[in-house]
Amino acid sequence: MTLLEEKQLSFAEETKYATTEHHEPSGLVKWLTSTDHKVIGKSYMFTALVLMLIGGAMALIMRMQLTSQHSSLLSLQQYNELFTMHGSIMIYLFVGPFAFGGLANYVVPLQIGAPDMAFPRLNALSYWLYLGGSIIMLLGFFTASGAADFGWVAYAPLSSAVNSPGAGPDAWIAALILTGFSAIFTGVNLVTTIFYLRAPGMTMFRMPIFVWNMLVTAILILIAFPVLTSALIMLYADRHFGMHIFSVKGGGVPVLWQNLFWFWGHPEVYILALPFFGVVTEIIPAFSKKPIFGYKGMVFATLAIAALSTGVWGHHMFTTGVVLLPFFSLMSLLIAVPTGIKFFNWIATMWGGQITFTTPMLMCIGFLITFLMGGLTGMFLASPPVDFQMHDTYFVVAHFHDVIFALVLAAMGALYYWWPKMFGWYLNDKIGKIQFWVLFIGVNATVIPWYILGLHGMPRRVAVYKVGMGWHALNIAATVGADITGLSFLIFLLNIYLSWDKKVKAPSNPWDAGTLEWFTSSPPPTHNFTRIPPIRSERPVWDFNHPDAIAIAAHGQESPLANGRSPSDGSNGYAQKDTALGSPKAGTTGMDKSS
């Protein structure tokens, strides 16, 4: 049977979901009670974005403090609370949950042809634990002692009950225990879903790269988060039950906290990064009109990153004198190799492609540039002699923020890319491009002065600094950059409002992409699909919509019939067009109206 005959047969087949009516709650009750992975994924993303805005507002207040050498805008205590909570919100509550809670929840079941996650109720519990933990962390500001003030890494003995008394630090610990269990439950759900709920024909090496990355991320979560959760329980026991695990007074070892924390912390860097590597690997081929270059190379690079990430935590502890410097330096340098393979493959995918510079594509290009800067400076810090000089300076702040800002760019690309699928209407592409340039300029205007400040010796985590050190002008420049970055998110909110006010309906496959989520309607029905196309490659929807295209003999070779069809300027930055080569009318793509 030819692919065209299979396509015709697929339209003739009826599934049990096509004629079944689904009666669900609506409005607020739906959002509070739903176990639908799509609703839970949206809830994660909305909550994470709200928390990002809160954490971003804290960052802007800190930057205002640092525009003057001896500013009195904040007390030293207030500054310590803000930088602790800013880092905690962004790392624990925004970047990770947005990716493995939000995007993975929404996209993974659609990409593998599953009707839902394997454990829907556990999925709902994961979200409510995350939301509850987030609220508890923020409630620390309303305690008598104020919020946690020992930094987002909570080093012992600074985090002891003697040095950080009060309910605020306890709320911080409780919040991370709750969100840690949320992450663990999500990891279990993702692994089970990917292994057991793939559609017929979807072998492991036909899964989209995003699904591969989420599988590896979930496994890393199951390795790393139990360690952090255990360490937090031990810290709480130290504070309240006199256990002295991290206290020298009772025979404990303070540096043990650093080992436990960073054993979680460096896999966590890739728990944050790998989902967005997957996002970029979905977007670049879609707007280059080519399959990803080196599919299996990307898979094995992801596996190599995961394996190496569990052996590099010691590079955060070079200055402690208790880790083996040559080993951790070598491991930290090695992990750059598979990441470099990914960069090569992304660039090779674009090379010779029919690139369309839509907002998602621009965000991904911005990600490549920004993450490259963060990665290269990380190579410097992997050298112990350099790290000894830079460890407590703004150079490290700049390096880490370069990495996180790169992930934010990829997150924005993901929102613009999957927004039509999630809501059925486009975000304005012209406003999106304005947002990209404002965000990209703001990020670099913030981070580059920090690198220079670090090279000039400015210490991090300080609310005031000496006069006459040459730091003042650079701090003002960084503050202006931070304000520009903040403006970009206001533009994003404006884009949502304007696009919602004048909705331009999106078809099922507006980007002529190749993965399964673009086969179903926009937004998808309750059980996602009424029928699924034959799965013969990692791009089943492309194969289905282009049945007459010459077969691709190897990954990285472009189909001669791949067209450059792309969104063109319309009332919302896009125009709706029919899908190519005899596929159904755009907006249906194999789905009947009842779906």
The count of C-alpha atoms lying within 13 angstroms of the C-alpha of 53, restricted to the half-sphere facing its C-beta, is 12
Query: d(Cα 197, Cα 194) in Å, to the nearest integer?
Result: 6
Lowest mean pLDDT among 184-188, 330-334, 467-471: 467-471
Range of the domain at 196: 3-15+32-545
Residue 262: pLDDT above 90?
yes
Q: Is residue 591 part of a domain?
A: no
Query: d(Cα 190, Cα 227) in Å, to the nearest integer?
Result: 19
Tell me, what's the pLDDT at 552?
Answer: 45
Structure tokens at 409: 């760019």
Tell me what percent of the residues of the chain surpass a pLDDT of 90: 82
Q: Is residue 565 part of a domain?
A: no
Query: d(Cα 517, Cα 537) in Å, to the nearest integer?
Result: 15
Query: d(Cα 128, Cα 44) in Å, to the nearest integer?
Result: 9
Q: Is residue 128 part of a domain?
A: yes
pLDDT per position as a tens digit, 190-219: 999 999 999 999 999 999 999 999 999 999
Please identify which residue in the block is written with the tokens 């992409």: 513
CB 129 within 8 A of CB 47: no
Output the pTM of the full model: 0.89
Tell me, what's the pLDDT at 582?
Answer: 30
- Average pLDDT, integer, range 145-152: 94
pLDDT per position as a tens digit, 509-530: 999 999 999 999 999 999 999 9
pLDDT per position as a tens digit, 215-231: 999 999 999 999 999 99
Strand, coil or helix: what is 461? coil
Residue 563: pLDDT above 70?
no
Q: Is residue 25 part of a domain?
A: no
Q: At what angle do helices 167-196 and 209-241 cross, to 10 degrees?
A: 150
Tell me, what's the pLDDT at 3?
Answer: 43
Q: Is residue 561 part of a domain?
A: no
Inter-residue long-range contacts of 238-245, CB under 8 Å, 24+ positions, other chains counted: 238/156, 238/160, 238/161, 239/159, 239/160, 239/161, 239/169, 239/170, 239/173, 240/161, 240/170
Confidence tier at 29 by pLDDT (50, 70, 90): confident
pLDDT per position as a tens digit, 421-443: 999 999 999 999 999 999 999 99
Mean pLDDT of the chain: 89
Confidence tier at 23 by pLDDT (50, 70, 90): low
Q: Is residue 160 part of a domain?
A: yes
- Average pLDDT, integer, range 298-304: 97
Residue 593: pLDDT above 60?
no
Tell me what percent of the residues of the chain surpass a pLDDT of 70: 88
Of residues 286 and 10, more confidence is placed in 286
Tell me, what's the pLDDT at 351?
Answer: 95
Query: d(Cα 309, Cα 331) in Å, to the nearest integer?
Result: 9
Tell me, what's the pLDDT at 27?
Answer: 76
3-state SS track over 276-307: HHHHHHHHHHHHHCCCCCCHHHHHHHHHHHHH
Structure tokens at 395: 């150079």
Q: H or E stretch including 181?
A: helix 167-196
Q: Is residue 579 part of a domain?
A: no
Q: Is residue 551 part of a domain?
A: no
Tell me, what's the pLDDT at 589?
Answer: 37
Q: What's the CATH code of the domain at 319?
A: 1.20.210.10
Strand, coil or helix: what is 407? helix
Confidence tier at 24 by pLDDT (50, 70, 90): low
CB 586 within 8 A of CB 509: yes
Strand, coil or helix: what is 573? coil
Number of domains making up the chain: 1
Structure tokens at 66: 């640092």
Lowest mean pLDDT among 20-34, 124-138, 374-388: 20-34
